[in-house]
Amino acid sequence: MQKNFKGVDDVALACVYFNYKDTDTPTNIIGNLLKQLLERNSNISDEARALYSEHEKRQTRPNLKELLQLLRTEAGRISTVFMVLDALDEFSETEKARVEILLDLSQISTVRLMVTGRPHVDCKVLSELYEVSTKLIRAPDNDIRKYLDTQIEKTGFLREKMKADQSLRATVMNGILRKADGMLASPGRSSLIMLGS
């Protein structure tokens, strides 16, 4: 996407990748997206400077409401802002927090939102958002087999054990394929894409 818009100043891209091990908060997430928008321009806006100065004086950090307001202002200066929230199901906060973040972002008129996550995350989220389309993505069993073969070959102990016992290899492969249900255990394992206006 960045390649397609190279040299275009009026388009921005901001991404957040969730990991269940991280303790992200809505404030951190909105702050992260805002930081990415601010970093694309060498001239910091007056609003951003004012917020920074105010909190520097008091030795405090901006709250969620302040960050959202500044994000709206900064995004409003750009004709199109693509925001990607990858692996939303890994966001350790409550379902309510997920929905609130998505609602806040979807209400910024210049933001085009793409969210990935496992299908179970969609029920509540989709019921709250408008103009959303979804695409279920499943890895074919052959792709999962190739991935598993690669992982087995990387691990000397497994490689030797499974070379000696092909029935063990088949049992392990089939068991993992049943459990995987079309999802790879890698960064590309998300199976739901939600696109909002």
pLDDT on residue 80: 95
pTM summary value? 0.73
Beta-bridge partners for 11: 80
pLDDT per position as a tens digit, 118-166? 766 655 666 666 667 777 777 888 888 898 889 888 888 888 888 888 8
81: number of Cβ within 10 Å: 26
What is the residue extent of each domain of the chain? 11-138+187-196, 141-180
* Listed residue (92, 90, 183, 98) closest to 137, CA to CA: 183
pLDDT on residue 187: 39
Q: Tell me the pairing of strands 80-86 and 111-117.
A: parallel
* Listed residue (174, 23, 163, 193) closest to 93, CA to CA: 23
Q: Which residues contact 108 (CB under 8 A, 6 or more apart)?
A: 71, 72, 75, 76, 81
pLDDT on residue 3: 54
113, two tokens: 């939102």
For the purposes of burial, counting CB atoms within 10 Å of the CB of 70, is it exposed (0-12), middle (13-18) or buried (19 or more)? Answer: buried
Amino acid at site 15? C
pLDDT on residue 133: 73
pLDDT on residue 190: 42
Residues of the chain with pLDDT under 70: 1-9, 119-131, 181-197
pLDDT on residue 184: 53
User: What is 11-138+187-196's CATH number?
Assistant: 3.40.50
